[in-house]
Amino acid sequence: MYLSKEKKAEIFKNQGSQKTAKDTGSTESQVALFTYRVNYLTEHLKTHPKDFGTRLGLLKLVGKRKRLLDHLQSTDIERYRKVLAENNLRK
């Protein structure tokens, strides 16, 4: 698999709200994981443009990430801005 347990733990440690490898449920951690997966799938689709199953999965991930970001924006605007800056996202 393209994403090992160590890589996931590193993502959670660097991007989570509690900054631990066990912080898998926070919104920041989930957005970071989705962003990593979206970037990976985007690169995959550049080399395999007719892979429509992957394209559908990518669109679903982007939608999930958008819903999480919308929730975070409505609840805590400072955390929202921090997540956008850390993940190099634009809104």
pLDDT at position 17, please? 67
All structural domains of the chain, each given as residue ranges with its CATH number in brackets, are: 27-91 (1.10.287.10)
Burial class (CB in 10 A: 0-12, 13-18, 19+), 54: middle
Q: Which 8-state DSSP code applies to residue 17?
A: S
Using the predicted structure, report yes or no on whether residue 1 has a pLDDT greater than 60.
Answer: no
pLDDT at position 12, please? 81
Give tens-digit pLDDT for 6-62: 888 888 888 766 667 677 888 898 999 999 999 999 999 999 999 999 999 999 999
Backbone angles phi, psi at 90, to 5 degrees: -120, 145
8 A C-beta contact, residue 32 and residue 87 = yes
Distance, CA of 68 to chain centre: 10
pTM of the model: 0.88
pLDDT at position 75, please? 95
